[in-house]
Structure 1
């Protein structure tokens, strides 16, 4: 199951839906601790309040997934662990049946995101760690990298701005020290390179599509970490 797939079995079970073995209140509603088998084959074991799942519980999906954690008024709300049928999992905060708050999602690829969520998407400060150890730290807005951030890869560090998941504008690479050199810092900028348009292209085919553009790193200067100066006209002419 993908990390944005909706979850079945979120609402409370009404009378006559599946089987139930457990405590009830004076109104004969499921209330207290109990175990239910739903018509679709899913099961729930945990706490109820006035006919709805509320409190701690374990919900097992017939498909193989499971959720263990807090419920409120029949939906996931509070702290909980959701293990999806494909092996990916999310552990963290929920609000009104959606990943909202702080939590960690581990993907089947071995990648993981730890940070803030809102309505099932990454939103706020977080860290995305790739299987190979690369880390991307910064801010997500509605599931996409936005604003300032850092990338750590194989000893190298990049600091700069991001827009719609892509690095943009000014940035800095920091190179680690080696046996023969001290750490070095390279400042530069990401520029957008537009695809060429051939003279014989039809007018309707000459539109430049966003996905055809490329971002290219344009270095400006190199120096020890923390060293920055204004780009000189000579260096600009050399690099252009």
Structure 2
């Protein structure tokens, strides 16, 4: 799944409401018996698209919904034929904007807020892996407070995200083991703390080292053992 800003609008045919167009005078001068004669008529031009309408694009996409000042605006439904996507929700100035739901062709979907064509604000993403992220977004990426649920492992990461990656938070597995600390490159980094199901606390820090091939090796340095804590 890739979050993309709405692409340049391809040519399309439109059926729907319009504003009243302006009236213009057209003049044509011809010679009759070697004398110039001018004929003038008033023509009413088509106004900009405004209100409810339907568009059929040359690439197979379709849109049905609101228009304002000639662009998609208000509530509408856009079907991206080639991608297999369907978006239903708000638009502004031709872009996805406000609350809306995007169904992606691989079974993924996003339900939340958009700004200028990208995920921004509160929203929930359901991934093909059955993982779920719910929280804040900015510019199409996870950004702010949010929780990521891992379907396969049963764990969850509740933290602060920046440009799509967690930078600090608490990770808990299905057995109750919890780690709280900072993250870098999507992995634990620097000071952290483990809380075992027994109540025992392990304090220390992680170091990261890049290996040949680009993999990152983690090393946990334990500094203190505390507990078990009182229930």
Supply the distance in 2 between the matched residues of 1:221 and 1:143 (Cα, whole angstroms): 32
For structure 2, the 5+ residue unaligned runs are 22-46
Map of 1:105 onto structure 2: 125
Supply the distance in 1 between the matched residues of 2:163 and 2:204 (Cα, whole angstroms): 28
User: With structure 1 as the length reference, what TM-score do the two structures score?
Assistant: 0.76
Match runs of 1:69-218 below 5 Å: 69-132=89-152, 133-146=154-167, 148-154=168-174, 155-177=176-198, 183-192=199-208, 211-218=214-221
Q: What is the DSSP-based 3-state SS (H/G/I as helix, E as strand, rest coil) of the residue aligned with 1:87?
A: coil
Q: 1:67, CA displacement in angstroms?
A: 0.5
Structure with greater Cα Rg: 2
Supply the distance in 2 between the matched residues of 1:194 and 1:24 (Cα, whole angstroms): 60
Supply the distance in 1 between the matched residues of 2:137 and 2:63 (Cα, whole angstroms): 26
Q: By percentage of residues, which structure has more helix?
A: 1
- Asked if residue 221 in structure 1 is aligned to residue 224 in structure 2, the reply is yes
Range with bigger deviation, 67-76 or 135-144: 135-144
State which of 18, 29, 36 in structure 2 corresponds to 1:24. Answer: 18
Q: 1:153, CA displacement in angstroms?
A: 0.5
The count of residues paired between Structure 1 and Structure 2 equals: 202
Supply the distance in 1 between the matched residues of 2:56 and 2:163 (Cα, whole angstroms): 36
1:34 and 1:45 in contact (8 A); partners too: yes
1:44 and 1:58 in contact (8 A); partners too: yes
Q: 1:221, CA displacement in angstroms?
A: 3.2
Supply the distance in 2 between the matched residues of 1:93 and 1:71 (Cα, whole angstroms): 11
2:19 and 2:50 in contact (8 A); partners too: yes
**1:65-99 per-position Cα deviation (integer Å, ceiling 9, x unaligned):** 11100001111111111111122111111111111
Q: By percentage of residues, which structure has more strand?
A: 2
- Asked if residue 65 in structure 1 is aligned to residue 85 in structure 2, the reply is yes
- Asked if residue 54 in structure 1 is aligned to residue 54 in structure 2, the reply is no
1:174 and 1:225 in contact (8 A); partners too: no
Q: What is the DSSP-based 3-state SS (H/G/I as helix, E as strand, rest coil) of the residue aligned with 2:214?
A: helix
**1:157-210 per-position Cα deviation (integer Å, ceiling 9, x unaligned):** 111111232211221111114xxxxx2222222134576xxxxxxxxxxxxx59
Supply the distance in 2 between the matched residues of 1:213 and 1:119 (Cα, whole angstroms): 28
